[in-house]
Chain A
Amino acid sequence: MHIFILRRLLQLIPVLFGVTLVAFLIIQLVPGDVAQVMAGEAASQAQLDQMRENLGLNDPLIVQYGRFLGDLVMFDLGESVRTGQPVMDIIAPRFIITVELALWGMVVAVSVGLFFGILSATYRNTIRDYGTMTLAVVGLSMPNFWLGLLLIYWFSIQLGVLPTSGWGTWQQVIMPAITMGTAGAAVIARMTRSSMLEVIDQDYVRTARAKGVSERLVVYKHAFRNALIPVVTVIGLQFGYFLSGAVLTENVFAINGLGRLVVDAISQRDFPVVQGAVIVLAITFVFVNFLVDIAYRVLNKRIDLN
């Protein structure tokens, strides 16, 4: 197991290199000049040249990348070209909010998804199964900003029980979490169902029944533990999507998360902030995948850990 974790960690190195390189290059390639933005519309050619020199923009790309990496290791993502604040300070509080939002979305997605997936599998080809799976298709196809708007219309405007926007109190969590989690719940429910159906016909499930294990335990202990293995991967992937997909939900509910920050930064051409956000999100994504991989191995005893 230790060897496995170690090997996986080593494999992360090239991935992280790739991620940072792409983030670095994207900013180089997008139209728009950082120096121009920083110096303002009225700046003279001399001022621009000076600005470029100061920012190191005249160095060869490889040197710039090296410097960029060196700073990154020190958690230095540069400064905002708009406000001059360190990017790290701008991103950190926003990132925490987005992670919170994604986690609450996960809670909804996982609990609802697993529940309906198992329900659907145990009552396969019955009205309950068809009902659940129809709901899943609806959940999957509904754009989540629209779901968010519907929720606001019902609960805030019609019933007046939940606040329309903001982040912090538990009332403010409910609707964004449902908005975020619904599509994920649908994906997880479908995956759980098919995984359960595959497992429920396995010989060892029959063995459990032959031992006299109650049907409830057969499903929740013997079958579910095995069915969970592929579902874990899907759950991990969902979390990644949630982080990157938070922007829509954040906008609908006016939550000051990382997604909104990025949208604002893009429209203001505040490239260091965009770059920093991309890197933070990418690294989080890679790290979540790493955890999922480990969880997968822990659950799946059959895989030789070496």
Chain B
Amino acid sequence: MASNEQTPVLEVKGLQTSFFTPDGEVKAVDGVDFSVNSNETLGIVGESGSGKSITSLSVMRLIQHPGKIVGGTIELSGEDLLKKSKQQFAKYRGNRLSMIFQEPMTSLNPVFTVGSQIAEAVRIHKKLDKKAAWQEAVNMLKLVGIPAPEDRAKRYPHELSGGMRQRVMIAIALSCDPELLIADEPTTALDVTIQAQILELIKELQEKSGMAVLMITHDLGVIAETADKVVVMYAGEVVEQADVKTLFKQPLHPYTQGLMNAIPRHDIDLDELEMIPGTVPTPQNMPSGCRFAERCPYARDLCVEKHPELATPSNNVDEAVTTGQTRCWIYTDEWDGPNPTKGVATNQ
């Protein structure tokens, strides 16, 4: 594909973010790589404790004390964001890259009108005067599909519904035409019919502006509907990475497979949900081998002893699905014997 040659809008390499607690260092994100091109949506999926939200906050450099980015690079169109001073980076934040959050109910400041909260972003980055910025805020509200935008701009957040507030958040995020939008569980707190509206809106705005979108979610349904490429995270690491069709057709990592078979579906009947036994390991007791080994039905001594790398599968896999990468011994040459996951059908 030609897109391989263009500079990605966002390229994250070896990202490590830790929290320094009284009990010691907690590695919340431990060596994460991914990239997103313009006009493309990368989905990051994982359960709680996977490090997906910390990853997104790291990209925005919004990690607060006692957290700290301790390694790796984050490049926005080739510029290393971690090398910028605080003041330099403030010019990028909300301007070239911006973010929307999970909780629209609490993400807007309750004591300012929504119009002024949009206008603030515009004034900071576009250096417009008060009146022009307000006009721009009204335009943005219109763009995100809020009826009677002149009137709504003067409202306080508590006067709007959850769906409307998330639209306002999107308006703030997109007011300066960013190259990258990070959406961290943008619809998790919303009802399904409202979720459909918001996802549709993000897609529509992406088509207009060509921005890259980083969609962070725990919901594989949202991933399937919005993402072009997917990164699956588990216990602070990427365990699988593929384009969306390949991932859903042929998930490689046993965790990804388990996840897909654990979702109750509204479109088909399932006799029993597959269970992933146990729970995510806590950062304090992180296994030294494969982090999924203790929950994995196929784990061998090799898995418990040695930590696998994220790599293009070279063993036990069809030619057709070698576009992605996975972090599992089964797909390496060190695994002797057949693929034990073969014949494990996924839900479709």
Do A and B share a direct contact in the complex (Cβ within 8 angstroms)? yes
In the bound complex, do residue B101 and residue A203 qualify as a contact, i.e. CB atoms below 8 Å apart? yes
Q: Which residue of B lies closest to A209 (CB)?
A: B62
- Give the distance in Å from the alpha carbon of A222 to the alpha carbon of B119 in the complex: 14
User: When the two chains form their complex, are residues A206 and B120 in contact, meaning their CB atoms are under 8 A apart?
Assistant: no
Shortest A201–chain B CB gap in Å is 8
Interface-facing stretch out of A57-65, A140-148, A211-219, A241-249: A211-219
User: Would you call B108 and A204 a contact (CB within 8 A)?
Assistant: yes
- Determine if B92 and A212 form an interchain contact, defined as CB atoms under 8 angstroms apart: yes
Chain A at the B interface: SS class: helix
B295 CB within 8 Å of chain A: no
Contact with B along A290-302 (1 / 0, CB 8 A): 0000000001111
**A127 interface hit (Cβ, 8 Å):** no
Q: Which residues of B contact A206 (CB under 8 A)?
A: 62, 101, 107
User: Which of the listed residues B60, B106, B111, B173 has the most CB atoms from chain A within 10 Å of its own CB?
Assistant: B111
Does residue B103 face the partner (Cβ distance < 8 Å to A)? Answer: yes
Instruction: State in angstroms the CA–CA spacing of A202 and B109 once bound together.
Output: 9
- Residues from 60 to 102 in B contacting A, C-beta threshold 8 Å: 60, 62, 64, 86, 90-95, 98-99, 101
Q: Give a binary string over A221-258; 1 marks a CB under 8 Å from any B CB, 0 the rest.
A: 01001100000000000000000000000000000000
The answer to whether A212 touches B94, judged by C-beta atoms less than 8 angstroms apart, is: yes
B103 touches A203 (CB 8 A): yes
With an 8 A cutoff between CB atoms, is A5 at the interface?
Answer: no
Say yes or no: A211-B93 contact (C-beta < 8 A), given A206-B101, A301-B110. Answer: yes
Closest to B118 in A: A211
B interface residues, how many (CB within 8 angstroms): 30
Interface residues of B in 105-124 (CB under 8 A from A): 106-112, 120-121, 124
Q: Which A168-210 residues have a C-beta within 8 angstroms of B?
A: 201-210
Given contacts A207-B172, A210-B98, contact A222 B86 (CB under 8 A): no
A206 to chain B, nearest CB (A): 6
The reply to whether the CB of B198 lies closer than 8 angstroms to some CB of chain A is: no
Residues of B within 8 A of A302 (CB): 110, 156, 158
Number of interface residues, chain A, beta carbon within 8 A? 22
Contact of B203 with A by CB under 8 A:
no
Contacts of B98 in A (CB 8 A): 210-211
Residues of A within 8 A of B93 (CB): 209-212
Instruction: Name the one of A201, A208, A212, A214 contacting B109, with C-beta atoms under 8 angstroms.
Output: A208
Cβ of B13 within 8 Å of any chain A Cβ, yes or no, is: no
Does A212 lie within 8 Å of B110, measured CB to CB? no
Beyond A209-B62, A211-B94, A212-B90, whether A203 also contacts B107 by CB under 8 A is yes
Tell me, in angstroms, the Cα distance from A213 to B103 when the chains sit together.
Answer: 20
Contact B107 A207, beta carbon cutoff 8 Å: yes
On whether the beta carbons of B94 and A226 are closer than 8 Å, the reply is no
A46 to B133, CA, bound (A): 85
CB distance from A125 to the nearest CB of B (A): 9
> Does B214 lie at the interface of the complex (its beta carbon under 8 Å from any beta carbon of A)?
no
Query: How far does the Cβ of A64 sit from chain B's closest Cβ, in whole Å?
Result: 50
With A203-B107, A204-B108 as known contacts, state yes or no: A211 contacts B101, CB within 8 Å.
Answer: no
Whole-angstrom CA separation of A212 from B108 in the bound complex:
15
Instruction: Give every chain A residue within 8 A of B64 (Cβ-Cβ).
Output: 201
Q: Is B125 an interface residue (CB 8 A)?
A: yes
| Contact surface of A with B, Cβ cutoff 8 Å | 201-215, 222, 225-226, 299-302
- 4 more A-B residue pairs beyond the given contacts A204-B107, A207-B109, with a C-beta to C-beta distance below 8 A: A205-B109, A210-B99, A212-B121, A215-B86
Residue ranges of B at the interface with A (Cβ–Cβ < 8 Å): 60, 62, 64, 86, 90-95, 98-99, 101, 103, 106-112, 120-121, 124-125, 156, 158, 169, 172-173
Q: List 20 A-B contacts (CB under 8 A).
A: A203-B106, A204-B106, A204-B107, A204-B109, A206-B62, A209-B62, A209-B93, A210-B93, A210-B101, A211-B94, A211-B121, A212-B121, A212-B124, A213-B90, A213-B94, A225-B111, A300-B110, A301-B111, A301-B156, A302-B156
